[in-house]
C-alpha cells in the first residue's frame, strides 16, 4: 500500500510542479527566475524586469516579472503582440475570448466586466475601438475574486487594451498576482 501511495504522489508531483504560469512560482528569486528564462532578466524599473521565459505562449510577446528583494516574485504580466482589428474591435474581442477560454481551462470560469461609460456618446458598436482607446470602454476577465486559485495565485486578470498610436490596433494583457502581492503593496504604501 505504501508503495502504491508513493508512486501516486511521485506521478502527481511533477504535474503540480509544471502547472505554474510560464514555469514561474510565487517567491522565486531573480536568480531562480533567470534559470527558467532563455536570457538574463533585464531590469526595467522598481521591481519590474522584462524576461523571455522558456515556457512561453505563442499569444504573448512580452513578459514582465515583479520581484521584491525580500519576498521574491509577486506578479507576472504578459502582453500580446499587436492585434490588428476593425472599428468594432472584432479581432481583438475574438482574441480576448479565445485566451479567456484557455485560461478558464486552468482556473475555472471568470467574472467578465464588459461595459461602457454611460456618459459616453459613442455607444454604437462601430465605435468599440475608439471608446476602448478613450478609456470609456472596458473588457476584462477576472479569476480568483473570492475563490481559491491554484499555483499560489490570488488573482488572474485578462484585459483588452488599445494602442495609443493607431486606432485599429489593440493587444491583450494577462496579469498573474500571487498571494504575496498585496502584502508587498501594503509594505510599499506604508511610507505614503
Task: Tell me if residue 84 falls in helix, strand or coil.
Answer: strand
Distance between CA atoms of residues 124 and 127, nearest Å: 6
The label of the residue with cell 477560454 reads 101
Cα–Cα separations (whole angstroms), residue 106 to 40, 102, 149, 185: 28, 7, 9, 26
Which value, to the nearest 10 degrees, does the dihedral of the CA atoms of residues 182, 187, 190, 192 take? -80
Task: Tell me if residue 24 falls in helix, strand or coil.
Answer: coil
Q: Does this model's pTM top 0.75?
A: yes
89-126 per-position pLDDT tens digit: 999 999 999 999 999 999 999 999 999 999 999 889 99
In this model, does residue 12 exceed pLDDT 70? no
117-157 per-position pLDDT tens digit: 999 998 899 999 999 999 999 999 999 977 889 999 999 99
Provide CB contacts within 8 A for 148, sequence distance 6+: none
Distance between CA atoms of residues 106 and 101, nearest Å: 9
The residues pairing with 43 across neighbouring beta strands, listed in sequence order, are 49
Task: Tell me if residue 159 falls in helix, strand or coil.
Answer: strand
Amino acid at each position: 500500500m505504501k508503495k502504491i501511495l508513493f508512486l501516486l504522489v511521485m506521478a502527481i508531483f511533477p504535474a503540480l510542479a509544471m502547472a505554474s504560469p510560464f514555469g514561474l512560482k510565487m517567491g522565486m528569486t531573480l536568480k531562480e527566475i533567470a534559470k527558467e528564462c532563455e536570457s538574463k532578466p533585464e531590469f526595467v524599473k522598481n521591481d519590474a524586469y522584462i524576461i523571455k521565459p522558456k515556457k512561453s505562449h505563442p499569444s504573448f510577446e512580452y513578459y514582465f516579472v515583479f520581484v521584491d528583494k525580500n519576498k521574491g516574485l509577486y506578479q507576472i504580466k504578459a502582453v500580446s503582440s499587436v492585434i490588428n482589428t476593425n472599428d468594432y474591435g472584432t479581432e481583438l474581442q475574438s482574441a480576448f475570448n479565445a485566451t479567456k477560454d484557455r485560461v478558464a481551462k486552468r482556473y475555472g470560469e471568470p467574472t467578465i466586466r464588459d461595459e461602457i461609460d454611460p456618459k459616453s456618446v459613442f455607444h454604437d458598436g462601430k465605435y468599440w475601438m475608439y471608446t476602448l482607446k478613450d478609456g470609456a470602454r472596458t473588457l476584462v476577465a477576472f479569476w480568483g475574486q473570492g475563490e481559491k486559485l491554484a499555483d499560489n495565485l490570488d488573482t488572474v486578470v485578462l484585459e483588452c487594451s488599445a494602442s495609443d498610436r493607431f486606432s485599429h490596433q489593440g493587444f491583450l494583457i494577462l496579469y498573474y498576482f500571487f498571494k504575496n502581492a498585496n502584502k508587498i503593496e501594503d509594505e510599499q504604501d506604508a511610507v505614503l
